[in-house]
Amino acid sequence: MRVLLIGGCGFIGSHIADCLLAAGISVRVLDKRPEAFRPPLDRVEYVLGDIQDTSLLSESAENMDAIVHLASTTVPTTANLDPVADVTGNLISMLRLLEALRGRPLRKFVFLSSGGTVYGVPDCVPIPEEHALRPINSYGITKVAIENFLFMEHRQHGFQNLILRASNPYGPRQFHTGVQGIIGTHLWRVAQGQAPEVWGDGSVVRDFIHVRDLAQLCYAALVSDYTGCVNAGSGEGTAIIDLVADIQRVVAASGHGEVTPVFKPGRSIDVPRVVLDIGKARQLLGWQPRIGLTEGLEETWAWVRGQAGAT
Amino acid sequence: MRVLLIGGCGFIGSHIADCLLAAGISVRVLDKRPEAFRPPLDRVEYVLGDIQDTSLLSESAENMDAIVHLASTTVPTTANLDPVADVTGNLISMLRLLEALRGRPLRKFVFLSSGGTVYGVPDCVPIPEEHALRPINSYGITKVAIENFLFMEHRQHGFQNLILRASNPYGPRQFHTGVQGIIGTHLWRVAQGQAPEVWGDGSVVRDFIHVRDLAQLCYAALVSDYTGCVNAGSGEGTAIIDLVADIQRVVAASGHGEVTPVFKPGRSIDVPRVVLDIGKARQLLGWQPRIGLTEGLEETWAWVRGQAGAT
């Protein structure tokens, strides 16, 4: 199988590339720049260019059996600042890509959606895929529209797609820009001698999935015949205050010293509690998360220290 | 109160203008062309221009207390043919308008959404507003995205809006292009000596609301303090085959002659059954539909005959 990874040089994409290569799959990556934390992989064909360029996307998809689409021009915290750019860069780009792909013999199109934003404030946790979609920010609204258009493409043109509604992925190679990825952001701050910042009282609950578990789920999605959406989380909720305690233990055990978080006022954009029901991914795709949070934190902390040159 | 009607020269807009004028409200209309079936109204200020022109919209909204937004660049049957145009013409335009309106002392923004498409294939009828939104065509997907952005604007900037999810409006002044409005299309065909066309076996059920009832609901929405969405239908389901029988009786009673429908293959785009639960509009806005289907058909038929010059 030959797979095109759109956005394959990013944090999640780099792990999916590893996972697919290990499974003997031929990988082409389209992204706007190379991976940030390691040199190009010998066995990957890289195409660097504008991921909003439909012609380039269409050419890159030539002779591919499947596509994994991970690219986004926005993140949740920035999308609200310019919803027109969010809709144009992500939704309109996707519609043009779908049109360009029509008639191609694609086996599968896997799209990375957002389990943390498409449901909005959930009626219940863990959240099943059938839960109403009531996104409260631009990022989630745009993801929902893309999901709906992917399903329309399936009904009208038989387009085989699988939508992964990811919760909060973390792990090695996560950027430390501070705009996305609370675990990466915390660990980078600690490595640089800064205090991790907790918004509100730390009672906000999130579902953290190790990026290699997410990559394995993406592989399962690619080889599955199912069309629809599945939640991609750990199925376990962790309060931010407990995450910080776990980070404190992991960092102390490494001999790095004490971690003291700084508490900041709560943010209105934070949904209080997001935990995804992952029963569908388990049953339909035979997948399950394998890396526990503490184990994942230890590994990620070791990687962050190595990158940051911390002792 | 001064109200701007965006798309106020269309079928629904013309009746809302009548209703607002009757209530002593000052009306400005922005539309791309004049009303099709009657001369300009003396008491309305008309601005003719491109409804996608944000500067023109923003200028037209100057000194207005409220806005009713009825304009759409697409209809359900055409939107699927060019989703990029649907998203650009409707969603992007709305985002630009919301940005331009930020900070204005607007009392209310009433938006005409689509009760027939935002819910997709319903789990139950009548459909309450809390029903999951699973639109299956571009028109509905775009309407849902606009609704979500209107609510986001409310949460972030206090924007007071009320969304009317209209079912199938009918009545005098409905265009007869054949692309939207089954009752108008049927009656115009009959007036011109053509057979009304029924897709499938006529078992498809729709909720027909007289356009003056919808206009009254729009007035109630304008003067209400409620922000949210309400269904705008009759609350009653009518199978197309029963609608045609009703049309046959009304036309026969007028002495026009016999109506024999032509049956065509069913369309995959038709949702089997849409009936809106209108309890929320009744309770929150003190509104109820007053014009029964047969009475409305008689009036609409008389108007169509007059327009078509039929005897």
What are the structural domains of chain A? 2-168+210-232 (3.40.50.720), 172-206+237-274+291-308 (3.90.25.10)
Residues B114-143: tens digit of each pLDDT: 999 999 999 999 999 999 999 999 999 999
- The yes-or-no verdict on residue B180 having pLDDT over 90 is no
Q: Enter the DSSP assignment of A43.
A: T
Distance CA B252, CA A212 (A): 71
A211-223 helix and A11-22 helix, angle to the nearest 10 degrees: 60
Share of chain A above pLDDT 70, in %: 98
Question: Which residues of A fall within a CB distance of 8 Å from B91?
Answer: 87, 91, 145
B93-101 helix and B138-157 helix, angle to the nearest 10 degrees: 20
Give pLDDT, residue A176: 75
Q: Kindly state the average pLDDT of the residues B93-121.
A: 96
Q: Residue A235 — left, alpha, or beta (φ > 0 → left; ψ -120 to 50 → alpha)?
A: left
8 Å CB contact of A134 and B152: no
Residues A202-245: tens digit of each pLDDT: 999 999 999 999 999 999 999 999 999 999 999 999 999 999 99
8 Å CB contact of B80 and A135: no
Give pLDDT, residue B311: 46
Give pLDDT, residue A261: 94
8 Å CB contact of A95 and B87: yes
Q: Give φ, ψ of A251 to 5 degrees.
A: -70, -40
B149 near A CB under 8 A:
yes
Report the residue of B54, B101, B130, B141 to disrupt the A interface, i.e. the one with the largest count of A CBs within 10 Å: B141
- The yes-or-no verdict on residue B103 having pLDDT over 70 is yes
Considering chain B, what is the average pLDDT of its residues? 94
Structure tokens at B35: 């009303």
**What is the predicted ipTM?**
0.94
Question: Which residues of B fall within a CB distance of 8 Å from A149?
Answer: 83, 138, 141
Distance CA A273, CA B113 (A): 30
- Which A residues, 34 through 93, put their C-beta within 8 Å of a C-beta on chain B? 80, 83-84, 87-88, 91-92
Give pLDDT, residue A178: 60
Residues A139-190: tens digit of each pLDDT: 999 999 999 999 999 999 999 999 999 999 999 999 876 667 899 999 999 9
Residues A10-65: tens digit of each pLDDT: 999 999 999 999 999 999 999 999 999 999 999 999 999 998 899 999 999 999 99
Nearest to B179 by CA among B134, B139, B239: B139
Q: Kindly state the average pLDDT of the residues B103-123.
A: 96
Nearest to A166 by CA among A204, A129, A135, A124: A129
Distance CA B293, CA B297 (A): 6
Q: Give φ, ψ of B284 to 5 degrees.
A: -80, -35
Share of chain B above pLDDT 70, in %: 98
Q: Kindly state the average pLDDT of the residues B44-49.
A: 98
Residues A54-103: tens digit of each pLDDT: 999 999 999 999 999 999 999 888 899 999 999 999 999 999 999 999 99
- The yes-or-no verdict on residue A311 having pLDDT over 50 is no
8 Å CB contact of B138 and A149: yes
Give pLDDT, residue A75: 87
H or E element at residue A162: strand A161-166
Q: Kindly state the average pLDDT of the residues B85-93.
A: 97
Which residues are A264's β-sheet partners?
A199
A28 within 8 A of A44, measured Cβ to Cβ:
yes
- The yes-or-no verdict on residue B178 having pLDDT over 90 is no
B182-191 helix and B293-308 helix, angle to the nearest 10 degrees: 50
* Nearest-neighbour CA in chain B from A99: distance (Å): 10
A132 near B CB under 8 A:
yes
Top pLDDT among A261 and B271 is at: A261
Give pLDDT, residue B175: 82
Q: Kindly state the average pLDDT of the residues B175-191.
A: 84
- The yes-or-no verdict on residue B306 having pLDDT over 90 is yes
Residues B234-282: tens digit of each pLDDT: 999 999 999 999 999 999 999 998 899 999 998 766 788 999 999 999 9
H or E element at residue B11: helix B11-22
- How many Cα atoms sit within 13 Å of B234 on the Cβ side? 20
Give pLDDT, residue B113: 98
- The yes-or-no verdict on residue A269 having pLDDT over 70 is no
Instruction: Count chain A–chain B contacts defined by CB atoms under 8 A.
Output: 73
Q: Which of A80, A135, A148 sits opposite B141 (nearest CB)?
A: A148
